[in-house]
Structure 1
Amino acid sequence: MGLFDQLKKSILGKGSEEPAPMAQPQALDRRTRSRANPRPGTLALIVDDSPTIVAALSRILQSAGFTTLEAQDAESAIEIAREQVPNIIFLDIVLPGMNGFAALRAIRRDVVLREIPVIMISGNEQATEQFFGTRIGADDFMKKPFSRLEVFARVERLLNAQGIPCRIGPGAESDPAERAAG
């Protein structure tokens, strides 16, 4: 019994009975929560100069059925994207050489790549990065460090009815429902 509890008991004549703990709402176990998965073999390009980030994100995406491609700079990422045409791109903002914003502009100008959804990644939480990324065509923004749950939530937002990542909102040529029908 602590000093405060002893004083309270001697002065007020009350014990230090602890209140019964309040029942905590049961959080839905992440393993049992239903989630929309991409169709098997969906191709994701991960662009980050940190091998740790690339490995972690690759492992997370592969656990959901993605096939992953990796690039450590924007120039090679654009080259890989043109050759393999991924279904989704995870693009870091701070990269050696061309930064992520310049890479995103190049992707949005490219006829082959412009409709690929892009999730920007940054260790900086500045709203200006999010705003600027969205203005030039990012489909979402993810802050490092990220959790599996956040990665899956970002991907789920972009999936159409067939489990294919699609662009949504301004800048997308059509909405996911139209692409699902087509």
Structure 2
Amino acid sequence: MTKVLVVDDEPNILLSLEFLMQQAGFDVTTAEDGETALQRISEIEPNLVLLDISLPGISGFDVLEHLRKDERFTRLPVIMLTAHGREVEKEKGMALGADDYITKPFSTQALVQKVRNLLQE
């Protein structure tokens, strides 16, 4: 089963994304901060990560940067999620190696489609 890690510090968003991804047929794990996200990625080696930028402690950008420096995860698909739709943030996320970038609020169908496209399901 395809494993998706959802990282968000907002409990309601975390729950709704977890439910959405489970409904789409994915095996979902969650993390509420960057440090936990990095631990879970090493433990479960997910097929894709939905990563919020604004996290307590280390940011989503830092998590992404860390992943891209680790040989095991250079090709791990990462979709950045953010409430900030500023172009400069999108450019930074893409420059650091994000595969896609979604601004909250987002269409649940569009998100599931982007995940499937990246996983080529």
When the two structures are superposed, what TM-score results if normalisation uses the length of structure 2?
A: 0.95
Distance 2:40 2:116 in 1: 24
2:54 to 94, 98, 108: 94
Distance 1:117 1:54 in 2: 19
1:1-20 deviation line (CA, Å, top 9, x unaligned) = xxxxxxxxxxxxxxxxxxxx
Q: Trace 1:42-121 onto structure 2 (pairs within 5 A).
A: 42-121=2-81
1:129 to 89, 93, 96: 89
Distance 1:88 1:42 in 2: 8
Over 3 Å off, 4+ runs: none
Relative to its length, the structure with more helix (as a share) is 2
User: Do 1:44 and 1:87's aligned partners in 2 also have CA atoms closer than 8 Å?
Assistant: yes
Gaps of 5+ in 1: 1-40, 164-182
Q: Trace 1:153-168 onto structure 2 (pairs within 5 A).
A: 153-160=113-120, 163=121
RCO comparison, higher one (Cα < 8 Å, 6+): 2
When the two structures are superposed, what TM-score results if normalisation uses the length of structure 1?
A: 0.64
What is the aligned-residue identity percentage?
Answer: 39
CA RMSD of superposed structures (Å): 1.0
CA offset at residue 156 of structure 1?
2.9
User: Do 1:82 and 1:112's aligned partners in 2 also have CA atoms closer than 8 Å?
Assistant: no
2:109: which partner in 1? 149
Distance 2:113 2:85 in 1: 18
How many residues of Structure 1 are paired with residues of Structure 2 in the alignment?
121
User: Do 2:48 and 2:119's aligned partners in 1 also have CA atoms closer than 8 Å?
Assistant: no
Bigger CA radius of gyration: 1
Relative to its length, the structure with more strand (as a share) is 2
Distance 1:73 1:157 in 2: 26
Gaps of 5+ in 2: none
Query: Counterpart of 2:67 in 1: which secondary structure?
Result: helix
